[in-house]
Amino acid sequence: MAAPKPEGDHKEYESSRSYRQMMRERLRRERLSQGYADLHSILLTTSTLTSKGTKNSIVEAAVVYVREQKELMEGLVRRNDELKEEIARDEEKGELKINISVPNASTGIDSLIESLRCLKDLDVKANSIRSEFCGQDGFLVVGVDDSKEAMTEIQSTVESVMEKYWKDGN
């Protein structure tokens, strides 16, 4: 059995114990105050916080800010879903991308016209046409309602006709 502690040690132990509790509580309050100060500084950049820096106003402003961000996120998720659906619809329609390479930049329009003539000769029914040229390279995107296999065949035919067109010196 352990010998009982002398009375002085017990008081010292109690006082050091209460001192440690007091220091832990002080550190907790300081961390809490620092958290409020950090939150206040973050919320100052938004319009949700007034100049009052009371704990209650900081928490209220944080709640408003979080709600705004949640609504914004939900709106972005909805828009993302809409765009995904739009992309899926566009993929169902089918697009034919024809790469065009021209000997010089000034003949890009000639290549475009010749590509369109070739598509007409192949009896391709286009529902949209978009083109882009940069220097000597470009592409023509044609929206068609044909199957993927037919589009691949049309694409290779038009590209080979265009190669022949430029090799023949036009």
Q: Indicate whether 71 and 113 sit together in one domain.
A: no
Which carries the bigger pLDDT value, residue 168 or residue 25? 25
* Together in a domain, 71 and 23: yes
Q: Is the pLDDT of residue 106 over 80?
A: no
Considering 32, 62, 82, which residue would you say is the last residue of a domain?
Answer: 82
Is 88 among the domain residues?
no
pLDDT tens digit sequence for 61-70: 888 889 999 9
Taking the C-alpha atoms of residue 97 and residue 148, their distance in angstroms, rounded to an integer, is 12
Choose among 124, 116, 110, 114: nearest CA to 154: 124
Q: Are residues 78 and 98 in the same domain?
A: no
Residue 138 domain boundaries:
94-167
Q: Which residues, other chains included, contact 5 with Cβ-Cβ below 8 Å and sequence gap of 6+? A: 13
